[in-house]
Structure formats: structure tokens, C-alpha cells
Amino acid sequence: MKLFLDSADPKEIEALVATGLIDGVTTNPTLAAKTGLSFFDSLAAICKMVPGSVSAEVTAITANEMIAEGKKLTAIAPNITVKVPLTWDGLRACKTLSDAGHTVNVTLCFSPNQALLAAKAGATYISPFVGRLDDGGHDGMELIREIREIYDNYDFRTEILAASIRHATHVREAALAGADVATLPPSVFKALIHHPLTDKGLAAFLEDWKRGGQSIL
């Protein structure tokens, strides 16, 4: 499963890209607004440091305007993925942009039927929001599993990008459910490595080595 960072902050992203484990980035208008930086400058900087897909979301609501914004965004860098909402206009824009050779991420997916339409529109990625479904008392991971089954039934090439990830358990469940990608807030990415038994075991190894009085270097 590929791991994307859900952030629009170049400094935050740069620090975690250094791990060599980040495959891409997703941004949205809310994340971009929080940085206080120029949207286009931030995207250009992020695209230079991340070799994979960088999702940049349109803010228009009509298909023609989304297409125009999408074309402007893709001019920033070749690894920009245009992010459009799962509306009729968004799907029309998706179809036009994907037919023109651009990668498209269809966002705000909350049902298998929506995911089916996005795949038929040529979406590169579909972004089901598992955390928001959980917040409303639904099973977000069940949506991932249902989309996986539909896509496998018909050999759709659209990748399932698990979004609205809230904690490390969501990452594990998304991987088990067959998501192709999970996009994570930096805090969740950092939490993936932690386990108390790892810390305890390392401390014991180092203490035993110290008592032995030896050195590797």
C-alpha cells in the first residue's frame, strides 16, 4: 500500500519525505489555508521534493470552471493530480481531464455507487472518507471493502485512496481491506512506528551491550 501525506506545508512534508517512505501528497483548500502560504508556490515546492502524485484541489463548482482550474494546476508540475469533488460537474470534469491525459483524484466519496461512477469517469484515484463515516456512526472500512470488490469485479484501474484517516488503526484496516493508498496526517504517519515492546526491547539490547564493554566501531 502506498503512503501519502495529507498536508500542504512544504517544511512539514520535507522532513518526512527524508524517511524515503512517502509515495505522494494530498492537499485540499482547508490544509492550504492553514499554511498562510501562496497556494501555487507551496505546490511547486512540494512537487519538487515528492516524486509521486501531488493532489491539488479545484475550488470551482461548475465543470467548465473545474476543467480550466485543473489545466492551470497541471501546468505547475507534471506530477500534479487534479482533485475534483464527487458531483455531476466533478465527474464531467474528471472525464474531460482524464481523457486529456491528466491524473484525477475524485474526492468526498461516501458510497460504493459514487465510487463506481468515478471509476467509469476515468478517475485515477477515488478518495473514500473513512473517518467522517465513522464519525457519523457508519463503518468507513466497510466502504473500502465494498469498493475493492466492485473494482476487482470489473477490473477498474482506479486506485482506492483511503482518506480522512484519523489514527494508526485506520492505516492497518485500510491495508487489510485492500486500499491501494492511504493518505495520512503527519501525526498519524509518525505514530505508525511506535510500539512499547519495540522501545522496551531496544533498551534491553543496548543495556546488555553496554555491560559487555564491546564496541562495533
CA angle 82, 30, 14 (to 5 degrees): 75
CA atoms within 13 A on the CB side of 136: 8
Q: Which residues contact 155 (CB under 8 A, 6 or more apart)?
A: none
Identify whether 83 is a catalytic site residue.
yes
Phi, psi of 5, rounded to the nearest 5 degrees: -95, 135
Of 11, 48, 83, 200, catalytic: 83
Which residues form the catalytic set? 83
